[in-house]
């Protein structure tokens, strides 16, 4: 791996313009969720989130200032070192930032770009796959429903089932529908999730298979 330097010395304007991003971590692994589960993927976890899910498993990502800024051209070099077809922009909430320069840089090395987002912010970047995972803690913007390739609803309480159905009415007919148990409640909720999918046409179960496999 090339020795790439991160820094906290970049200006806020560099982040605002998308020349750098606050980088929590980057890693090459197996996608564990949704339509692309089981496939190799290079993940770029961008720091910063104001959604505040109580069950979030990466709360360390919330404070962007805790994470060093990474120049997007250096990120491209890191991404090029693996053979993954897909690069996944995740967080945190990656759509908080201007991602067009980063997406353009990563596409220049012939990669397909996916984003995992709560849909709370408009996205200018032209990604190839839009995973929309709405949260009760902050209202999604209207464009998220139009752009979503897959709707992934995390089930924490039984009231979330109806909430999932309400959001499914707003996405396009081609959007894939996934329901996923919150990890700490998977055993408690699994019977209800199976019953939901059996009685609601078009829904599929998404499991965090990477956690079952004990990989990042």
End-to-end alpha-carbon separation of the chain, Å?
Answer: 18
pLDDT score of 168: 98
Long-range pairs of 183-192 with CB within 8 A, sequence gap ≥ 24:
183/55, 183/57, 183/208, 183/211, 184/55, 185/155, 185/156, 189/155, 189/158, 192/155, 192/158, 192/161
Tell me the pLDDT tens digit for each residue of 83-93.
Answer: 899 999 999 99
Retrieve residue 112's tokens.
Answer: 């397909």
pLDDT score of 7: 57
| pTM listed for this prediction | 0.93
In CATH, the number for domain 12-212 is 3.20.20.70
195 forms bridges with which residues in the sheet? none
Q: Are 133 and 154 in contact (CB under 8 A)?
A: yes
Residue 112, judged by CB atoms within 10 A of its CB (0-12, 13-18, 19+), counts as middle
pLDDT score of 216: 82
Positions of the chain with pLDDT under 50: 1
pLDDT score of 89: 98
Any idea where the domains of the chain sit in the sequence?
12-212
pLDDT score of 5: 53
pLDDT score of 4: 54
25, 55, 78, 114, 197 from 87: Cα distances, Å = 13, 25, 11, 6, 29
């Amino acid at each position: 791996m090339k020795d790439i330097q991160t820094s906290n010395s970049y200006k806020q304007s560099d982040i605002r313009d998308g020349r750098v991003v606050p980088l929590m971590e980057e890693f090459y692994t197996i996608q564990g969720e949704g339509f692309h589960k089981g496939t190799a993927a290079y993940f770029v976890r961008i720091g910063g989130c104001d959604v505040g899910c109580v069950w979030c498993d990466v709360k360390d990502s919330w404070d962007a200032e805790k994470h060093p800024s990474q120049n997007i051209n250096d990120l491209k070099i890191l991404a090029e070192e693996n053979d993954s077809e897909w690069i996944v922009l995740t967080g945190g909430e990656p759509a908080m930032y201007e991602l067009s320069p980063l997406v353009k840089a990563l596409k220049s090395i012939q990669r397909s770009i996916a984003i995992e987002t709560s849909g709370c912010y408009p996205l200018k970047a032209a990604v190839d796959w839009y995973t929309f995972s709405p949260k009760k803690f902050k209202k999604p913007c209207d464009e998220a429903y139009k752009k979503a390739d897959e709707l992934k609803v995390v089930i924490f309480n039984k009231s979330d089932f109806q909430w999932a159905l309400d959001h499914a009415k707003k996405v396009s007919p081609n959007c894939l529908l996934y329901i996923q148990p919150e990890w700490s409640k998977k055993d408690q909720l699994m019977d209800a999730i199976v019953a939901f999918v059996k009685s609601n046409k078009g829904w599929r179960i998404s499991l965090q298979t990477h956690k079952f496999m004990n990989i990042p």
